Amino acid sequence: MGREFLSLFDQWASSYDDTVNGHDEQYEEVFRHYPAILKEIVKRSGKCVLEFGSGTGNLTEALLAAGKQVFGVEPSQAMREAALQKGVPNVLHDGDFLTFPEPPFKPDTIVSSYAFHHLTDEEKKQAIHIYSNILQSDGKIVFADTMFQNQAAHHAEIEKAKAAGFDQLAEDLETEYYPSIDVLKKIFEEEGFSTSFQQMNDFVWIVAAKKWE
């Protein structure tokens, strides 16, 4: 479910870390402040963390280094292998945002970076519904991802990418399911969460969602 972009990630796995380190001009702004973005997620996380879309395990590593227990879920085998190869502990499991193995603990935090936009808005709602039932009672969700203030802002970034000759970025912005902040806020609220949003660069925001008491 929501795995339609998987072959892209199998191909991208070997060079993914070069991209996050700013070596791909088209994605430079998307990954600007990447280490600070991961750090902010770690800072906002509790002790028992369920992570989705772990990729090559950069956030996983940062969470583990901060002493947290992590259960990672990543559908791309090539990404999981790339993580293992660079020494990330074996905490990543095959699965996706909607269908995943049961973690050995009840999470107090569910995190994700640069991945939630692979789900349609309907699938995002299904995912948040599932998470609402598995989180500890005072649990929270902390997601960093590309999102936009509104449709006009989304459209403006597509035009900017095209004008700069960033065709891959433009196609990505046109085809994947980047949400507007209002839509995401509504999805969380309908599932019983209050939200706050923090902008990290021109594309990426962190949404932190807490269950209402």
Q: Please tell me whether residue 117 binds ligand SAM under the rule CB under 6 A.
A: no
Q: How far is 71 from 51, CA to CA, in rounded Å?
A: 6
CB contact at 8 A, 118 and 177: yes
Q: Please tell me whether residue 54 binds ligand SAM under the rule CB under 6 A.
A: yes
Q: Please tell me whether residue 74 binds ligand SAM under the rule CB under 6 A.
A: yes
Q: Please tell me whether residue 145 binds ligand SAM under the rule CB under 6 A.
A: no
DSSP 86-118: TT--S-EES--SSS-PPPSS--SEEEEES-GGG
Compute the half-sphere exposure of residue 153: CA atoms within 13 Å on the CB side of its CA. Answer: 13
CB of residue 96 to ligand SAM, shortest distance in Å: 3
Select from 115, 142, 170, 206 the one that contacts ligand SAM (CB under 6 A): 115
Select from 68, 118, 124, 140 the one that contacts ligand SAM (CB under 6 A): 118
Could you tell me which residues come within 8 angstroms of residue 140 by beta carbon, excluding any fewer than 6 positions away? 44, 46, 108, 109, 110, 208, 209, 210, 211
Select from 20, 42, 161, 207 the one that contacts ligand SAM (CB under 6 A): 20
Q: Please tell me whether residue 58 binds ligand SAM under the rule CB under 6 A.
A: yes
| Interacting residues toward ligand SAM by CB under 6 A | 2-3, 5-6, 9, 20, 52-55, 58-59, 74-76, 79, 96-97, 113-115, 118
